Amino acid sequence: MYACVCHAVTDDDVRDHVRSGACSAKEVRSACGMRPGCGTCVGRIRDLIEEHFATDAVATAAA
């Protein structure tokens, strides 16, 4: 699925950058080389970042 249609950035692209250390929508957008567009991707990127850290916290607690 596309996180950003304007720049053809997928959810997987976002997840890869978050795993590599991006912690904000701004950092993900920068890592993907995204320029300002319509802005509708920001919410989706934030959701993916939150999902990553929630999953990471659950995995850490289970270990």
- Two structure tokens written together for 44: 């989706």
What topology is assigned to 2-62 in CATH?
Arc Repressor Mutant, subunit A (1.10.10)
Instruction: Look at residue 53 in the predicted model and tell me its pLDDT.
Output: 92
pLDDT in tens, the chain (63 residues): 999 999 999 999 999 999 999 999 999 999 999 988 899 999 999 999 999 999 877 677 776
CB-based burial, 41-58: b 16+ in 10 Å, e otherwise? bbebbeebbeebeeeeee
Taking the domains of the chain in order of start, what are their residue ranges? 2-62
Instruction: Look at residue 60 in the predicted model and tell me its pLDDT.
Output: 72
Instruction: Look at residue 63 in the predicted model and tell me its pLDDT.
Output: 66
